[in-house]
Chain A
């Protein structure tokens, strides 16, 4: 067997099994021609699903979401049960803020691979948007169970695991049980739209609005505070102290420490300086009323 090597289960002579130099050159030429032919026809041959998805992913990474979506759709028509295709499709739906279809696509990926970490992460993010923290935690745990070095999932898990309070039953909210508050001390200024005082665990302390709206607002304020705090921490910044959120027709000012979060909204034409000043006044009064140190 000297001079031969084992290839594909069948012993062949060295040099590819050619008996003469002339024959070897002939076959080499044929191979070269075959490659050239393949290269030429690849321009006219329709690309397979894998190629289409690869190109779609490149477009997606460049922010060319519409073109990526076109290609992903095309690829899924070629290969309807392709996990990469469904994952891309889910990402693109998320990029377009289409949460329902994105969820369906992530689930399609999990149907093919129940421990696909990126599909689990995607569903965890959707659960968080829906304020289903328990489901979010469970999905992140599952993603990290097999892939402990998954930075995005780890960052989210670090954040949600630090949240002390989550309602046991969706729709139920914690009730403020602290010292009584003198309402007149927390009177918001004229011209404001909304004022809410929440605890860092999501409990509504005080509001000048109807109960339902106030609870929703307190939940929103707390959720923004928690995620923003985690973001600042991850960016190597200090503890969150102040937030200003500008929307099209109003601006909301927050103050915060690790216990209290007042939020005050003004119409957009109110100057930022005024908003900050009024929020600071309410912040000081809130701390005094509740006996909390800044």
Chain B
């Protein structure tokens, strides 16, 4: 009983758009990797250095993204959009969209403005491929049917 493994996928326009995101990001100087992860922790697409395990990083990224979303909600703040986490020698960017989260790994001497612009572009691509952001619950009619189907 498992829904985990990923056999070869049929190409779709949306999947192609998603896969293009990390590829575009890696063209920026000093960007070392990128990841698109769903809110449930599913890796939608990843382009990471070999030493980094995508599944583990995705699990933490989705948890971080959700904490930022849920925390904003709890504190009655407006919706979280992007975040930057800086270490001594590198930076991680995180962006939120309806599809999930976009993560970028950078070296320290990064052009923050350029990366933020690229991240916003990536989020716009995600949203464009998905459709306009709507409140959860009305996004997919399928979900209503999903709830109805529960025994």
Contacts and interface: CB of A to CB of B under 8 A. Distances in A.
Q: Do A and B come from one complex?
A: yes
A87 B87 CA distance: 36
Contact of A87 (B1, B75, B83, B147): B1
Interface string A94-117: 111110011011001100110010
Contacts of B47: none
A70 B142 contact: yes
A58 B7 CA distance: 8
A14 B129 CA distance: 58
Contact of B49 (A66, A67, A83, A236): A236
A249 B72 CA distance: 11
A118 B1 CA distance: 10
B85 A93 contact: no
Interface residues of A, number: 86
Interface residues of B, number: 78
Contacts of A76: 146, 149-151
Interface stretch (A5-13, A34-42, A225-233): A225-233
Contacts of B89: 237-238
Nearest to A227: B64
Contacts of A65: 38, 99, 139-140, 142
Interface in A223-270: 223-224, 227-228, 230-232, 234-250
Interface of A, secondary structure class, is: helix
A71 B147 CA distance: 12
Contact of A246 (B1, B40, B82, B141): B82
Given A154-B56, A250-B77, A223 B71 contact: yes
Interface stretch (A20-28, A121-129, A277-285): A121-129
B84 interface: yes
Nearest to B148: A73
B70 A129 contact: yes
Interface of B, secondary structure class, is: mixed
A121 B78 CA distance: 29
A94 B78 contact: no
A62 B15 contact: yes
A93 B146 contact: yes
Contacts of B100: 63, 95
A87 to B, nearest CB: 5
Which 7 A-B pairs have CB atoms at the shortest separation, nearest pair first?
Answer: A69-B142, A70-B142, A94-B40, A248-B78, A238-B87, A73-B145, A66-B140
9 contacts: A69-B140, A76-B151, A84-B2, A94-B40, A96-B39, A101-B147, A125-B63, A152-B56, A234-B56
Interface of B: 1-4, 6-7, 9-10, 12, 14-15, 18, 33, 36, 38-42, 44, 49, 51-53, 55-64, 66-72, 74-75, 77-92, 99-100, 105, 129-130, 136-137, 139-143, 145-151
Interface of A: 53, 57-58, 60-74, 76-77, 80-81, 83-84, 87-98, 101-102, 104-105, 108-109, 112-113, 116, 118, 121-122, 125, 128-129, 151-156, 159, 213, 216-217, 220, 223-224, 227-228, 230-232, 234-250
